[in-house]
Every structure is written in C-alpha cells, then in structure tokens.
Amino acid sequence: MSTQIQRSSLALVLAVGLAVTGTACGSDEEGDGGSGGKVAITVNGQPAKTQPFERKMFDQDVADFERAHPDIDIQPREGFMDPKTFAAKLAGGQLEDVFYVYLTDPANLIARRQAADITDYVKDVPHYEEIQPELREIFTDDNDRVYGLPTANYSMGLLYNRALFTRAGLDPDDPPATWTEVREAARKITALGDGTQGLAELSRNNQGGWHFTTWMYSVGGQIAKKDGDRWVADFNNDKGREVAETLHAMRWEDNTLGERQLLVFEDAQRMFGAGKLGMFVGAPDNIPPLVNQFKGDYADFGLAPLPGGEGTLIGGEGYMLNPKASPEKIRAGLTWVQWKYLNPDRMEQTLKTYSEQDQPIGLPTAPPNAAADVWVGDLREKQQQLREKYATVPVENYQSFVDGLSELEKNIEPPNAQQVYAALDNVMQGVLTNRNADIDALLADAETKVNTALAQVR
C-alpha cells in the first residue's frame, strides 16, 4: 500500500512539477533590475574560460568599471553573437541588455526593430563624433536614428607566408599589388610541390559570397546599388566577369587553387598555419590565431593591402542595446560600452598591459579594442604611435597594409548580406568546381537570386 501511495505521490509531484515548469517558462524574467539603487545590466562579450588571459582582463575591467561607476552593476555573460539563439533569447527575455553584433547584423536588426533606438542618448557618449563615419553609418538608419556603437573593425587584405615567398624566390617585402601579380606568385609557390598551394579561396557557408564581394570591391566593382528606393544587384557586368574569370583561370589553367574546394575559413587557416598555403584573402585579426592555434611564427606572416588597388571590404563588431531595455539601462549600457571599448583615456594603459603580457600588439586590429582601427583624426594617429611603441609583433610585416589602406575605398557589406552571400557562394562554387563553368550563366543566376534577396530589404 505504501508503495502505491509513494508511486501516486511521485506521479502527482511529477505532474505538478511539469505544470509549474511550464508556467515558469512562460513568465518573463526580472524587471528593471538593480540592487540597492544600482542599475543592473547584463552584458555579453565575456571571453570563455578557455581563454584565461582575455577572461582575466575582461573580469578586471568589470571590477574597475564598477569601482568607477558605483551606481552600475555589470552582470557579464559569456559569448558573442549567435544567430541561432538570438531570436530565442529575445523571445524568452534572455537577451542581454548590451549585446555583441557583427557589422553584418545591424541593418537587419534595425529593420526588424530588434535593437533599442539610442539616438537620444548617444550625444552624451564621449568621442562619438571621432569614430569613423563609415562605421557609425552601419548603426544608423535612413532617418538618422542610431541603434548601436561600432567597437572594432577590420579591412580585408592579402595574408601571405613570407617563408614560402622566400623559398619560391619572391621578395617578401614586396608583396603582390595586382591580381596578375598574385597569379604569378601563386604559380611560383605551387611549383614548390609537396602539396603547397598558391592561394586558397572560400566557397561555402556564405563565405564564398563574402570573398566574391571582397574581390569585386578590390577591382572597383559593387554587389548592390540603389535604384530609386530599392536595391538591385550590380555584379553581372564586366567587373563581375573579370573576377570570375581570374578565379577560374587560377583554378583550372594555373592549378594554383588546389583540388579540394568548398572550403571555409578554418580550412584556409589550417593550411596557412601548416605552411602549405602561400596566400589568402583575409583581415589582420587572422594572424594571432595562426600563431596561437597553429603554432606559427609572427615573423613568417605578412599582410599586404588587398590587390587591385580600388577598394576593400570592411567589417567588424559593435554593441547594441536590448529593445526592451529601460532608459536607465540604456544609459548604463552605453557608459559601459564607451568605457570598455571606445575609451581613448585607457588606450595607452591597455596596450601597455597587453604588451607586458607578451600579447600580440602592433596589428591594426582588436583584441584589445584599444588597438582597433575605429578612430579618425588625432585619435587615429595617437593610436598608431602607441601600437608601434608597445609592439610585440613585427610591425614592418604589416606596414604596407596600413599604408595602403588609406588609398583604398572602404566599402561596407551589402544589404541583406547573408542572403546575398548565399547566392554568391554559387558563383564561387561554379568557377572553382566546374572546369566548363558558364560564367555568364552563373552571374545571371546569382543576379536573380540576389535581386530576390534585395527585394526584401525594408
């Protein structure tokens, strides 16, 4: 009998428990938050425990910030932008008050009203006007309303292996400046044999489209243009053909792009880190992982401006505010973002600390954000001097990139970038996997798809 009662109780407890859980799932969490008059805000961007140095620096920053701002309580969360969980977190009330975004995200988040309008608060953010206008524009809509702050950016360039250049009889201090020179260098590097490959190109998971866009910008082309009120595709033209034909020739005539295709970024990094790849199109933030994860040597890696000489693609990261955040939380969130990521007063101290810990300083990129190339005018010059002063990596290996950048037009990513990139993946896949690729047909097909994607831009 007692067993039966126990069993009955267990079943009831189970049923009630589930019902309670169900109710709890439906309820919204916390209101304005705050303990003892403090404004409590959740922020993401905290590095994982597997990155002990970065984690320690972040937690130290939180402590320092809270000491300097006793009325704000920072509740850090691990992680960055994950499109797979973003909507679920937003729907479930779990999205952080201050959340990290890639520069491809703001346009869609603004269109869907999934970020707070901070126009009325941003005028109080120190140095806001000294941030590069191209970067500010990414967080601003057509009505000049502002929805976030850029905190780091990258410009695409040409990463090359200086050791392989030397072995192939090329001058590592005079990297290729045109795509014709890239082809020539790739031929010489591939001729080294033993599985060495001249150049690698990406063609999967929208990364092919991202790189095709970069190539287009490099030759002065575009991916999309405004036609009245709407956006239309702008690559089914001579520039698009030029890019596709160059890639096709490198793959099938020169045999310098390798047999294995459908690559993603990690594949190229792995090949580059293993010393089997001569060049790939990428940004300076690729260099530290090549050293840390693939045991490379900074002395072996060089970075040149994107060949072509016309333009480059810029991307990066920033922070936006939860659309459900209260005005107090928005103010506190902006104070945190400015203090932590956009703070010229902390620039020297941060670079010095990183340098003393033998972290890579000297690259025109984050981390730390103090080294990110986001400023204009005096601040940019001051930052460059400090980067050189505290450099721990061979700055001269990237000098041509830094110098050449000012001559290139900096283009942001096209609207509805991910959908556009998905369509452009096909162009890359076509020319890289099909010897008899019909380039005109590939471009025309991608144009139809891109126009469909652009028609949804609201």
Partner 1 sequence: MSPTARSTTTRSTTAAPVAAGPDTSAAAPRHVPARSTGRLRRRVLDNLTAYGFLCAALVVFALFSWYPVIRGVLLSFQQVNFVTDPVWVGWQNFETLFADPLFGVAWRNTLLFTGLALVIGFAVPFAVAVVLNELRHVKAYFRMVVYLPVMLPPVVVAILWKWFYDPGPGLFNSALRAVGISGPSWLNDTSTSMLSLVIVATWASMGSATLIYLAALQTIPGELYEAAELDGANLWQRLRHVTVPQTRFVLLVMMLMQIVATMQVFTEPYIMTGGGPEDSTVTVLLLLYRYAFVYNDFGTASAMSLLLFVVLGAFSALYLRLTRTRS
Give the interface with partner 1 as residue ranges (CB under 8 A). 4, 7-8, 10-12, 14-15, 18-19, 22, 25, 83-84, 86-87, 90-91, 108, 112-114, 195, 203-206, 208, 258-262, 264, 323-324, 416, 418-419, 422, 425-426, 429-430, 432-434, 442, 445, 448-449, 452, 455-456
CB-based contacts of 2, cutoff 8 Å, min separation 6: none
Least distance (Å) from partner 1 to the CB of residue 22?
A: 5
Q: Any idea how long the chain is?
A: 458
Is residue 247 within 8 A of residue 428, CB to CB? The reply is: yes
Tokens of 90: 């937003």
Least distance (Å) from partner 1 to the CB of residue 138?
A: 17
For 59-113, the three-class secondary structure string (H helix, E strand, C coil) is: HHHHHHHHHHCCCEEEEEEECCCCHHHHHHHHHCCCCCCEEEEECCCHHHHHHCC
3-state secondary structure of 306: coil
Distances (CA, A) of 66 to 122, 126, 155, 411: 21, 18, 33, 38
Taking alpha carbons only, the member of 248, 253, 252, 290 closest to residue 269 is 290
CB-based contacts of 436, cutoff 8 Å, min separation 6: none
d(CA 109, CA 88): 14
Is residue 415 within 8 A of residue 227, CB to CB? The reply is: no
DSSP 332: H
Please report which helix (H) or strand (E) contains residue 425, including its range: helix 417-433
Least distance (Å) from partner 1 to the CB of residue 184?
A: 23
Least distance (Å) from partner 1 to the CB of residue 85?
A: 9
**Which residue, 25 or 144, has its beta carbon nearer to partner 1?**
25
Least distance (Å) from partner 1 to the CB of residue 423?
A: 8
**β-pair type (224-227, 72-78):** unpaired
Taking alpha carbons only, the member of 436, 432, 443 closest to residue 263 is 432
**Which residue, 110 or 168, has its beta carbon nearer to partner 1?**
110
Least distance (Å) from partner 1 to the CB of residue 445?
A: 8
d(CA 149, CA 170): 42
Least distance (Å) from partner 1 to the CB of residue 372?
A: 26
For 259-264, the CB contacts below 8 A with 24+ separation are 261/203, 261/429, 261/432, 261/433, 262/203, 262/204, 262/429, 262/433, 263/200, 263/201, 263/202, 263/203, 263/204, 264/202, 264/204, 264/205, 264/207
At 149, phi and psi to the nearest 5?
-125, 130
Least distance (Å) from partner 1 to the CB of residue 343?
A: 30
**Which residue, 81 or 125, has its beta carbon nearer to partner 1?**
81
How remote is the C-alpha of 182 from its chain's centroid?
25
Taking alpha carbons only, the member of 362, 264, 265, 372 closest to residue 316 is 372
Amino acid at 262: L
Least distance (Å) from partner 1 to the CB of residue 307?
A: 26
**Which residue, 142 or 259, has its beta carbon nearer to partner 1?**
259
Least distance (Å) from partner 1 to the CB of residue 315?
A: 16
Least distance (Å) from partner 1 to the CB of residue 197?
A: 9
